[in-house]
Every structure is written in structure tokens, then in C-alpha cells.
Structure 1
Amino acid sequence: MRITRRLGDPPRLRGCGTGETCPDVFELSNGDFAVIGTEATEELDGLLPADAARADYERIVIISRETLIRAKKDIPDA
């Protein structure tokens, strides 16, 4: 598996030049997506809706609204 492309604008275009708090979204060679975000599993796990589930190896991460909106243009419909 490898990263095939970034979705949305690079962090520098979103005002991140320090290497800190630079959320990002990537498409992987297998068609899945990977995100860089702020780890928030402990904070949000108990707040998940009843029909949501998280495996022990999964984490909840937060990415900024701006990051996802800028990535939207690159996310395929299917």
C-alpha cells in the first residue's frame, strides 16, 4: 500500500508552515483514504451514536472543516 495523492490543498496553502497542526487527507493505492488529524479517541469515544462502533485498533481523529472542504473537490463520487 502507498499514498497515491493528496486530496485538497497542501498544508502551506491552508496556512500551516510550522509542521504543527497540519491535518491532511490522502488517497491510498488500494482506494482507501488516510487522514492526519488530532487524536481524539478518548474524548469522543463515549459520545459516538449507538449505531457507531470502533475497533480496538481504530482511532477517532479530528481534521479541520477547512481541510475537508478543500479536499471535497478531489474525493471521487464512486
Structure 2
Amino acid sequence: MSQIIRRLGVAPRFRGSTNGATCPDIFELADGNFAVIGTDVTDSLDAELPADAARADYERIVVISRETLVRAKADIPDA
């Protein structure tokens, strides 16, 4: 497994998480991939996936807040 090299966006405490109860986050990994901490909504959204989308048994559908992604936008590389 790859290592986390940096957070994209700001730490959860700067987005209002003061007790660690809601901490969506996005990280860039050393291999160039990204890791996301979010709420697992696989059970509720799996049947809603478009016909041309699929997930493997080991994959989960997670939700992050809009603010998390918007605040990370400046840190996401173009290529």
C-alpha cells in the first residue's frame, strides 16, 4: 500500500470539526492516487449508480462534504 504524502485542502478542524466526529478528508498518495475519508453510503447508493458505472466488491461508495472538495480544489493537480 502507498504512503500518504499530503492533505488536499485544509484540516477538518478548519471546516468546523472540533471533536473528530465528522472528518471527511482527501489525501494524495506517493503512488499518485488519492485516498478519501468519507461516510460509507454504499448500501443506499449502490442501486442508484448509472448503468455505465460499477464497483468491485472491495470498493465502497463514500460521500464527502462539498466544502471538503471545494477547499481541496486548489491542491488537486491538473495532470
Query: If the length of structure 2 is used for normalisation, what is the TM-score?
Result: 0.97
Aligned amino acid, residue 69 of structure 1: V
Gaps in structure 2 of 5+ consecutive residues = none
* Aligned residue number for residue 70 of structure 2: 69
- For residue 8 of structure 1, what is the aligned residue in structure 2? 9
TM norm structure 1:
0.98
Supply the AA of the counterpart residue of 2:72: A
Q: Which structure 1 segments of 5+ residues have no match?
A: none
Separation in structure 2 between the aligned mates of residue 50 and residue 18 of structure 1, nearest angstrom: 39
- The ranges of structure 1 where at least 4 consecutive aligned residues each deviate by more than 3 angstroms after the TM superposition are none
Task: Give the total of aligned pairs.
Answer: 78
Taking only aligned residues, the RMSD between alpha carbons, in angstroms, comes to 0.4
State the one-letter code of the partner of 1:31: G
The equivalent of 2:47 in structure 1 is 46
